[in-house]
Amino acid sequence: MDPAPIDKSATIFVAGHRGLVGSAVVRKLKSLGYTNLLLRTHAELDLTSQSSVDAFFAAHKPQYVILAAAKVGGIHANNTYPADFITINLQIQTNVISSAFKHNTRKLLFLGSSCIYPKFAPQPIPESALLTGPLEPTNEWYAIAKISGIKMCQAFRIQHSFDAVSAMPTNLYGPNDNFHPENSHVLPALLRRFHEAKVNNVEKVVVWGSGMPLREFLHVDDLADAVVFLLENYSDMEHVNVGSGKEVTIKELAVLVKEVVGYKGEIVWDSSKPDGTPRKLMDSSKLAGLGWEPKISLKDGLTDTYKWYLENVVAQQ
């Protein structure tokens, strides 16, 4: 199965096209001139329903599938809804991957998450660290579902020579992120909190944890670029890390967000709250070796994301 450019008229099903990742992938594909995208909202196609997914694949027979649909959330959401996180994600993956194979999809790209790796994995984290130690307890339900997705792609490749590949992005942010007060990830949560503090003239913003954990962030438009690159250039068993290769402390991130938002107050750290994984930097040298690298800096990406938040979240309130 040699890597090959995709015909611009090929039918491409982007599962989860309204989410952070899916919407970026759709923007990227459209900008590159792909004209035959299959897109379905949750109301139009329930990916947790095996019969619905199979009927969709039987009717439309997509040539390529990008599996970006998932139930996602931060530490609070993962701790509160563990049954939802493991069940819904396993259902979506199983239904889409098996139907794609059954209905002769040429290639499937499955998107996972950096939380698949052990809590104390070597840093930067190579692909080979998968399943070498215990997971971070605060999101193991989601992680186990995503690991199962990788293994399912590998199993179909081994048993059926199905061209299924997996990409593991680092922490993502950008347009269409989830800015929910409780169920969002650290970066959109900080953007929202600093914005609201600025608007309401609040003197200080309290942030969870010590501020010491190190995190890597990748703008979702960079990920979308990598997804199309992998679809055209990669066909192998092992999943591929997709990261920026740059890390910041949560404290540095908070200061940068404060600056981008224009908040003038004080940052207070609540160290009684959990920090999560102490450090999480992906080793993306495999992807770099294939010829891809990110283009959007954290400062530029934050500025872009804040602009989107003001225009699409604040303006709708």
Q: Which of 34, 117, 142, 309 is catalytic?
A: 142
Query: In 3D, which of 226, 224, 222, 217 has the Cα closest to residue 292?
Result: 226
The two beta strands, 64-67 and 247-249, are unpaired
For 58, which DSSP code?
H
Asked if residue 117 lies in contact with residue 129, where contact means CB atoms within 8 angstroms, the answer is yes
In sequence order, what are the residues at sequence separation of 6 or more whose Cβ sits closer than 8 angstroms to the Cβ of residue 289? none
Determine the straight-line distance between the first and last CA of the chain, rounded to whole angstroms.
49
Q: Helix, strand or coil for residue 286?
A: helix
Which parts of 218-316 fold into alpha helices (H)?
220-233, 250-261, 285-290, 298-312
Say whether 306 is catalytic: no
Task: Cite the active site residues.
Answer: 142
